A and B are shown apart, each in its own frame.
Chain A
Amino acid sequence: MGQSRTLQVAAGLGAILAWIIIWAWLTRPGGPVPTLYFPAPDDVWAKFVRMWQRPYIGSTLPNHILASLYIVLTGWGLAALVGIPLGIAMAWWKKLKWIVFPTFQLIRPVPPLAWIPLTILWLGIGDSARISVVFIAALVPWLMNSMLAVYSVDRLLLDAAKTLGANDRQILARVVCRTALPTLVAAARMALGNAWSTLVAAEILAATAGLGYVAVNASQLLDTDVLLVAMFMIGILGICMTGLIGLTQNWLAPWSVLGARRD
């Protein structure tokens, strides 16, 4: 088992290396792919190092990253503050669900991005427009999964708590919210994924800093190497953020991780 895992990792690294070599070969001076369309790997790396120190369209790369993270985390966090309580309450009190759900169903099929022009008209091109679009994108997974989390609570646990004399509030706080935790971690992940990809589009459309803004400017200025740096950073940050949430599951809901690893 251990050995085959090492082999897998080695093969994976080998494949990455192979692709970098193919990439370098294709984009070599006089090669088949003009660097205007796809720059060479060493150019991208050089640009990455340079952008780390010198500002590109207003800010250095770390500052662009921080600008993006600020928007995405704010929108995602606000969506959690609304989505989790509302989702749990909707699953718990049927009437609330009957009242709120139809409106929600009406809004849900609209891609979050389609709200961008509206938020720009209403809120201008400042941070609040982007935060609200990210909020809309993250709200759906937060709310749906919070509802699902409550529905998936074992009926037996509820009955047991009731038999032992717990009242509604105690059951909600001590049984439902805790057993729902693993599903909520999954919700956090999905919401962040949605939020991140929506943010990129929002930054392409209206921003003064951020990775999407860098990408769209680089494309207009034909700085393909900068564009690739921005795209890689977007991908890597996305992976890091979802990875971090996966790690929090270990200490938020260790029992679910144990269960998952049993086989």
Chain B
Amino acid sequence: MGVLTDRGKATAYGIFSLSVLLTLWICATSLFQWIEPRVLPSPAQVIRQFAWIITEPFSGLRLPGHILFSLERWGWGVLTAGLVGIPVGVFFAWNPWFKTFLNPVFELIHFIPPFAYIPLAVLWFGASTATQAMVVFVAAFPAIVINSQLGVAQVEKIYVDAARVFGASPFRTLCRVVLPAAAPSIYTGLRIAISNGWMALVGAELVVGKVGLGFMIAQGQENASVATIFVGVITIGCLGVLIDTLVQRSERYVLPWRRVAG
């Protein structure tokens, strides 16, 4: 096997093991029916269910509709977390007293898992977009604050001093020197927040709501339709990967000055 590089071999092994898995799945379900379709549907059934949910409304909406609702809630949560979290993180690093005062509240959000906020969110907002968005916010907020704070704290003091020597006002120093220097770290925080938020959204939608991908899985459980659950789980996983890849790729355009080997 001297022909293949390690990378090639890894791919070959990967394709092999995945096809073994797929064959086992097909054997266990459609071919020999070791497992009842009620417990584990065959790949064909899952694909059929996929096609069905895309073309026929499921609980009032087709698959793209559910996806859009999930994305909307997630978007609101992450957006608010960014709008609040970045300034809070920056000021945490800028002013220690501000941090000391706000820290107890921040630690509450940080240390209580986002899902523990679901019952409270339901109580406050009922079954509205705000409920899920609040859970996404709680999941996304700490990563943004921590990384923004870290980014600002790591800005070399000499940059700030230089700006001051040239007569820049504190506000101007913040906007033109500190923020650009801290941006890569802030971006990392956003990236973590975005994927944390996506995870939390699924949990929130499982508990409350009448649309969305999480709801779709919950409904699959209710109807004892494992195929529907599979469709939901696969969609959630693929969208998660897609979002993360997009964010990762976009970094080059958003932060062109960051020349870290990657």
In this complex, how many residues of chain B approach chain A with their Cβ under 8 Å: the count is 55
In the bound complex, do residue B199 and residue A113 qualify as a contact, i.e. CB atoms below 8 Å apart? Answer: yes
Interchain CB contact (< 8 A) of A117 among B112, B117, B217, B238 = B217
Residues in A whose Cβ lies below 8 Å from that of B14: 98-99, 101-102
Which residue from chain B places its CB closest to the CB of A7 in the assembled complex?
B100
Which B residues fall within an 8 A CB radius of A? 6, 9-10, 12-18, 21, 39, 97, 100-105, 108, 111-120, 122-124, 198-199, 202-203, 206-207, 214, 217-218, 220-221, 224, 226, 229, 232-233, 236-238, 240-241, 244
Q: Is A166 an interface residue (CB 8 A)?
A: no
Q: Which of A73-81, A182-190, A199-207 contacts B (4 or more CB under 8 A)?
A: A199-207
Task: Look across to chain B and name the residue whose beta carbon is closest to the beta carbon of A100.
Answer: B17
B115 touches A201 (CB 8 A): yes
Q: Is the CB of B113 within 8 A of A227?
A: no
**Are A111 and B115 touching (Cβ within 8 A)?**
no
| A223-263, CB < 8 A from B | 224, 227, 230-232, 234-235, 238-239
Chain A residues with a Cβ under 8 A of chain B:
8, 11-12, 14-16, 18-19, 37, 94-95, 97-103, 106, 109-118, 120-122, 196-198, 200-201, 204-205, 211-212, 215-216, 218-220, 222, 224, 227, 230-232, 234-235, 238-239
Contact of A12 among B100, B117, B203 (CB under 8 A): B100
Q: Are B241 and A109 in contact (CB under 8 A)?
A: yes
Known contacts A109-B241, A196-B113, A205-B207, A121 near B229 by CB under 8 Å = yes
Q: How many A-B residue pairs have CB under 8 A?
A: 150
Tell me the minimal C-beta distance from A235 to chain B in angstroms.
Answer: 4
**Are A117 and B218 CB-contacts (below 8 A) given A15-B103, A110-B240?**
yes
Asked if B18 contacts A103 (CB within 8 A), the reply is yes
